[in-house]
Amino acid sequence: MTTPEQDFIDSPFRSPEDRLREKDQKREAVLRAAVRAFNARGFQAASLDEVAASLRISKPTIYRYLGNKEQVLLECITRGLELLQEAAAEAEREPGNGLTRLTHFLRRYAEINMDDFGRCVVRTDDNVLSEEGRAHFRALKRRIDQAMRDLVAAGVADGSIAPLDVRMTAFTLAGALNWPGQWYAAQGEQSAEALAATMVDVLVRGIAPRS
Amino acid sequence: MTTPEQDFIDSPFRSPEDRLREKDQKREAVLRAAVRAFNARGFQAASLDEVAASLRISKPTIYRYLGNKEQVLLECITRGLELLQEAAAEAEREPGNGLTRLTHFLRRYAEINMDDFGRCVVRTDDNVLSEEGRAHFRALKRRIDQAMRDLVAAGVADGSIAPLDVRMTAFTLAGALNWPGQWYAAQGEQSAEALAATMVDVLVRGIAPRS
DNA sequence: TTTCTTATGTACTCATCAGTACGTTGCATA
DNA sequence: TATGCAACGTACTGATGAGTACATAAGAAA
């Protein structure tokens, strides 16, 4: 953005950089199609032939851009977990007390779980992965879990959160906000943001009336 | 139990009633083995050969006692949903205000979701089922969902629950309490009952401190 | 023009299962 | 004793799908 760029007309002749960008876009498209298929029919049931067909390409092309089926899944999962990681980092940087920061994080957490890659994280069961894949997956999830616990602990420490068991509280919150990933189909009614906000509100205030 | 019964020695010769009872027990054992396999590896990944091997029988024997693979799953799911249905009926009969009854139900709900058949309900995704299976499954789930909403609505009506959106609240509660089914492996630390009670407590009171 | 590389498709192999045909054994009944 | 039926197991069929070998086409480079 610092140097002025000349406008070229849309040419069928691609420069080396164009080729690279195209390659990236194709990789991205494959990932997108795969995560949709995985979410819609489950990892095991979704076939790579299916994914390929949805892009009107052939299966070996998928193998060109990503490795085997598990690697496709791992990439999807990693994407989702990176989004969560960013959200956690953001929450930690934020001003305000523990509860405020946690609330922000929870909202983002819920929203991400309704996004394609986030849903994939929530819907993927450990045991479809190889030993190494599982270890990788679990390590990343543990970091998110730890971030959630840290925020809860901070809130408990500064008094903005009730003196609850940190582990169990984080588990309960995460569970509640993971669930939409199993259900949300973007079919509408409410936007993901609105749904997330409402759920977080229920969790923060509880269902018992406040005097 | 009204007529006195003679004590027989354990004989290898079975009466017709014994045969029937044995048949039932075998059917039960198959179901148990199947639900464990489904929960452990997922419906699609778990093979009936596997289930059969775990009982040291052959696959056709499974087909003798239950129909095809989907019917085995449907039976497991139905079992779990029947447990939930009973819990709902019980909660409705109970004395006390809406919140009290809901709280009881939520605890049972969570406990059932950590039991074999309950876990199966939570972990089974619609889309592995046939059209009819899916319809059956959804209808049963809808009844549970409705019972949960009714209890929330009753609590809102009698003032024992804060004036929240009934649908979203039920969804949030159910989501939070479904989640342990994805994780709980009976490995211990806490009993299912203790875990359920703690989670319900967090949900009822919320995480924000009460003055 | 020849050759190398990149991108892609066709057409396989091989493994895994769901589901089944059919045999066997043993008890029960006629 | 003959016949029927209940309770299994062995050994298949057929489908599906992951992963691969190899051909091909088209541009880039030499």
- Contact (Cβ atoms closer than 8 angstroms) between residue B116 and residue B36: yes
Structure tokens given for B109:
């709900």
Of the candidates B119, B139, B153, B129, which has an alpha carbon nearest to the alpha carbon of residue B38? B119
pLDDT, tens digit, 9 for 90 and up, residues A130-182: 999 999 999 999 999 999 999 999 999 999 999 999 999 999 999 999 999 99
Binning pLDDT at 50, 70 and 90, where does residue A188 land? low
pLDDT tens digits in sequence order for chain B, 211 residues long: 444 454 544 555 666 676 788 899 999 999 999 999 999 999 999 999 999 999 999 999 999 999 999 999 999 999 999 999 999 999 999 999 999 999 999 999 999 999 999 999 999 998 999 999 999 999 999 999 999 999 999 999 999 999 999 999 999 999 999 999 998 776 667 899 999 999 999 999 999 999 7
Q: Is the CB of B26 under 7 A from strand D?
A: yes
The long-range contacts involving B43-50, CB below 8 angstroms and separated by at least 24 positions, are: B43/B69, B43/B73, B43/B124, B43/B128, B44/A42, B44/A44, B44/A45, B44/B128, B45/A44, B45/A127, B45/A128, B48/B72
Rounded Cα distance between A192 and A115, Å, is 8
Q: How many CB atoms lie within 10 A of CB A138?
A: 13
- Contact (Cβ atoms closer than 8 angstroms) between residue B80 and residue B117: yes
- Between CA B55 and C1' D10 the distance (Å) reads 18
Residue A180 corresponds to which amino acid?
A: P
Rounded Cα distance between B57 and B120, Å, is 23
CA distance A105 to chain B (A): 14
Task: Please judge whether A175 and B177 are an interchain contact, meaning their C-beta atoms are less than 8 angstroms apart.
Answer: yes
pTM value?
0.91
Tell me, what DSSP letter sits at residue B128? G
Residues of B in contact with A42 (CB under 8 A): 42, 44, 125, 127-128
Of the candidates B108, B38, B103, B110, which has an alpha carbon nearest to the alpha carbon of residue B70? B38
CA distance B65 to chain A (A): 26
